Amino acid sequence: MGDYKFAKDKLAEVLSALEEYEVFAPEAIGDVLRFKAVSDPAGVNLDDYDNTTVPPKELMFPQTETLFKYRLGQTDVEPELPDPSSKRVVVGIRPCDALAYTIVDNLYGWDFPDPYYQKRRESTTLVGLACAVPCSTCFCPSVGGAPASEKGLDALMFDLGDVYYVKALTDKGEEFGRAAGLEAAGDAESKAAAKQGEDALAKVPRSIETTGIPEHLPALYDDTFWEQFSDRCLSCGICTFLCPTCHCFDIQDECESFDGRRARMWDTCMFAEYTRHTSGHNPRPTRKERTRNRISHKYSYFPEKFDVIACVGCGRCIKNCPVNIDILDILEKSKQAGAKEAKTA
Amino acid sequence: MTEEYEPNIVAFLCNWCSYAGADLAGTSRTHYLPNVKIIRVMCSGRVNPLFIVNALQQGADGVLISGCHPGDCHYLEGNFFARRRFMLMRKLLEHVGVDPGRVNMSWVSASEGAKFKDVVDDVVAKAKEAGPMDQFRRRQINW
Amino acid sequence: MVDEKKLQDKAKETLIRDDVRRLIGWKRSTYGYEAAPAVLTDASQADQLIFDPTCVQNLASFISLEEKKPVARGAEPDTRKIAVMVKGCDSRAIVQQLVEKAYSRDDVVVLGIPCMGVIDRRKAEKLFGETAGQVSAKVDKEKVAVDIEGDVKTVDRKDILMDKCLRCRYPNPLVSDFLLGEEVEKWADDDFADVDDFEKMSPEEKWKHWDEQFSKCIRCYSCKSVCPMCYCVECVVTQLKPQWTRRSTDISENTAYHIQRAWHLAGRCIECMECQRVCPVDIPIMTLNRKMTRDVKEMFDYEPGVDPEGEPMLASYNPQDPEDYIM
């Protein structure tokens, strides 16, 4: 695979050259960053950006998405599938968020291949941007990632001061390099990039040893352990909506006089309504069960099924939680509690 | 030919005064504008301010809430509560950027058929001035 | 300042009481500029309690967050009290909850703390950058000293305190069973200049502002979840029959949600600013709440969360209320 580079001040030109693609890049409204379709390449700024507040999972499964439309008196429906021939490129996605796609792929390609998600995935080229300075809440190396991880990416960019070094990783990435008209990079850049990756890895502020966690979490199912965290949980959706691997959705029908649509929208296990039955019974009646579910799903149920922890260590849930429910704190304490539980059993 | 813009007005009228007032306007053959779509409620105090937001979402360009004159409420004080509510709701919508002319309130008694006509004329004129309500109208599901 | 030893002793004393079920206070968080709420059930845990300017959360919210589990047949429901630590602004939430009869005065033990202001995480991150370390702080009449893992930085109050603290009129708790620490002097007043400034905009400009802000909303409902006044068992926005607000996120539903939220807090918002603090996408939610607060004061001469004997604003009226726009 090829190595490319381009001068930093040429970013707008490079993005403009991608005519056949719909280009997505982080866009700032105030201090809040989010991936948006680029309308003005000159406005894209990849400097001093940690990560987007809302993860780019919304590019593959939007928060609200029409599945199909229907009309009174008509027997067939009109599906709204994304067009697989439209090419999209996401520029500046962080390695953790790209890794998240590879985890969620398991779910959306499992018992029922989800055409909406998969078509978007197929038509999208992911051009990552390695982290030179990790965020204050990152712990990606603990869960299989790294500030310069290549997993799930089609190409990876490194910010080397005044040039971007672009390492193509797949055919799609190669195609991106050609379409953007990038020049070939030399050994110097590739060495600098490798060094940057190693340096960044050493700077990741937090970590957890995950060995054994998936096995001992089920033992804590009925333990009061969870209450020390759930007692201060607000039951809001910040942690799950901002999680790049959380993928739950709700399906609702929205109707007007004669027309309607079936849409799916993000849902979260932190809301009481999530599990409430029609009868009014709720199998997860309190915040304890809901907190337990969030952690256990990521670190126990998902690994059990797909052999991978559904967490990429981006730190968004830690950073944005208003009441300091810190997933690393929970996991660390769960080890002690799990050991105690094992002893008594 | 450009058609003149005709706003949709949703009117919540109380059963005991304003609805009877509108009825009187009709039986006295007073011609009031057909833009107004009337919903009868038992009291102006029954009108939940969320009705207003929902009406604006679903295609209303203006809203009218009408009840008995203060002191004449069939339920003694329902319209006093409604008055507080809609004074505030109007301010809130104004703060969000909704034209204040879209939210209207009036006192129309059962004997004020002529006043009802004037109120409707006024509300329609204000809604026309404000233009179509497109700020947070629900997106239509088009086939 | 509050003596932490005294605070912990009082907490112990309270938790030992037979009629107290749990105590809600603050403890040091695992990292960063904000403390963490601590829900304690045992006196032995009281040592972790703290109070300093990082204790930003309004703990009055947590009284109603506790789910009421069904009581087994023959068993008696647990009617013991909840003890809660409150700052001046937080105490107004308790007053307003009492006014609305959310619970009775006997159900809570209020440990009041006179407060000199709390830190705004966003301002602190701008000043000193993000930190993975633990932070403590001290505040006096002029300066705030922030201690980031031993590295002490001193800044002017106005540069780091929450906006609500810079216009705080109630630094001392309005309701409390025990006061921890000396009462402090009021240092500011509120002239609602921000509301006046916003009102100078034209309707088009206002809508442009809100269009941009509401479009960001991801409807995580953290603003309503954290609000001490949002304690309805079933919130109207999550109700399915009738479904007033659709779950889908677009400008129409997001706007409807925010109008509903602000509306339900009209004459009830006690300005603890928690909604704006927790918003992950930085929507200036308080702009709407403050408009309501100002207008309620102007039109109906009502201030929420001040008089425990008062009546809820929308459940009362004055025959002389203004009606200048009514035809």
Put simply, the chain B residues between 66 and 85 with a CB less than 8 A from any chain C CB are: 70-71, 77, 80-81, 83-85
- Alpha-carbon span A131 to A145, nearest angstrom: 12
Assigned token pair, C49: 């309690």
Going by C-alpha positions, the residue among C270, C244, C298, C243 that lies closest to residue C102 is C270
Judge if A227 and A272 occupy the same domain. Answer: yes
**Is A331 contained in some domain?**
yes
Handedness of CA A232, A238, A242, A246 (dihedral sign): positive
Cis peptide before A303 (omega within 30 of 0): no
Whether A254 and B143 lie within 8 Å, measured CB to CB: no
Q: Rounded to an integer, what is the distance from CA B97 to the centroid of its chain?
A: 19
Going by C-alpha positions, the residue among C149, C70, C82, C89 that lies closest to residue C110 is C82
- Alpha-carbon span A145 to A201, nearest angstrom: 10
Contact C152, C146 (CB under 8 A): yes
Q: Does A198 touch chain B (CB under 8 A)?
A: no
Backbone angles phi, psi at A167, to 5 degrees: -105, 115
pLDDT of B86: 93
Low-confidence stretches of chain A (pLDDT beneath 70): 345
pLDDT: which is higher, A103 or B142? A103
Going by C-alpha positions, the residue among B94, B71, B97 that lies closest to residue B83 is B71
The last residue of one of the domains, among A203, A237, A268, is: A203
**Is A306 contained in some domain?**
yes
The last residue of one of the domains, among A203, A221, A241, is: A203
Whether C250 and B50 lie within 8 Å, measured CB to CB: no
Where in chain C are the domains?
4-66+79-118+166-179, 193-315
Judge if A160 and A240 occupy the same domain. Answer: no
Pick A136's closest partner by Cβ from C131, C246, C250: C131
pLDDT of A122: 92
C-alpha distance from C126 to closest chain A C-alpha (Å): 10
Judge if A266 and A183 occupy the same domain. Answer: no
Q: Does B141 touch chain A (CB under 8 A)?
A: yes
Other beta carbons within 10 angstroms of residue A224's beta carbon come to 10
Contact C155, C110 (CB under 8 A): no
Residue whose entry in the numeric block shows the structure tokens 């969620």: A104
Pick C300's closest partner by Cβ from B84, B118, B138: B84
- Alpha-carbon span A44 to A91, nearest angstrom: 10
User: Between β-strands A3-7 and A163-168, what pairing exists: parallel, antiparallel or unpaired?
Assistant: antiparallel
Complex ipTM: 0.92
CA atoms within 13 A on the CB side of A43: 12
Q: Does B90 touch chain C (CB under 8 A)?
A: yes
Whether C295 and B91 lie within 8 Å, measured CB to CB: yes
Contacts of A57 in chain C (CB under 8 A): none
pLDDT of A340: 78
**Is A134 contained in some domain?**
yes
- The domain total for chain A is 2
Backbone angles phi, psi at A20, to 5 degrees: -75, -10
Asked whether residue B127 carries a pLDDT value surpassing 80, the answer given is yes
Judge if A165 and A272 occupy the same domain. Answer: no
pTM: 0.94
- Alpha-carbon span A85 to A93, nearest angstrom: 22
* DSSP-assigned letters across all residues of A138-151: --GGGGT--TT--T
Backbone angles phi, psi at A27, to 5 degrees: -125, 140
Contact A24, A18 (CB under 8 A): no
- Three-state DSSP state, C41: coil
pLDDT of A124: 95
**Is A147 contained in some domain?**
yes
- Alpha-carbon span C148 to B77, nearest angstrom: 58
Residue whose entry in the numeric block shows the structure tokens 């695992």: C30
Express each pLDDT in B69-88 by its tens digit.
Answer: 999 999 999 999 999 999 99
- According to DSSP, residue A185 is labeled P
Band of residue B2 on the pLDDT scale cut at 50, 70, 90: low
pLDDT per residue of chain C (327 residues) written in tens, 0 to 9: 688 899 999 999 999 999 999 999 999 999 999 999 999 999 999 999 999 999 999 999 999 998 887 888 988 888 899 999 999 999 999 999 999 999 999 999 999 999 999 999 999 999 999 998 999 999 988 899 999 999 999 999 999 999 999 999 999 999 999 999 899 999 889 999 999 999 999 999 999 999 999 999 999 999 999 999 999 988 898 888 888 899 999 999 999 999 999 999 999 999 999 999 999 999 999 999 999 999 999 999 999 999 999 999 999 999 999 888 888
Asked whether residue B124 carries a pLDDT value surpassing 90, the answer given is yes
Asked whether residue B10 carries a pLDDT value surpassing 70, the answer given is yes
- Per-residue CA distances from B17 to B2, B64, B70, B108, B111 (Å): 39, 14, 11, 6, 8
Contact C251, C214 (CB under 8 A): yes
Which of A256, A258, A261, A262 has the highest number of chain B CBs within 10 A, making it the mutation to test binding with B?
Answer: A256
Judge if A198 and A226 occupy the same domain. Answer: no
- Alpha-carbon span C101 to C89, nearest angstrom: 19
Q: Does B137 touch chain C (CB under 8 A)?
A: yes
Asked whether residue B142 carries a pLDDT value surpassing 70, the answer given is no
- Alpha-carbon span C156 to C146, nearest angstrom: 11
- Domain extent, residue A54, equals 3-203
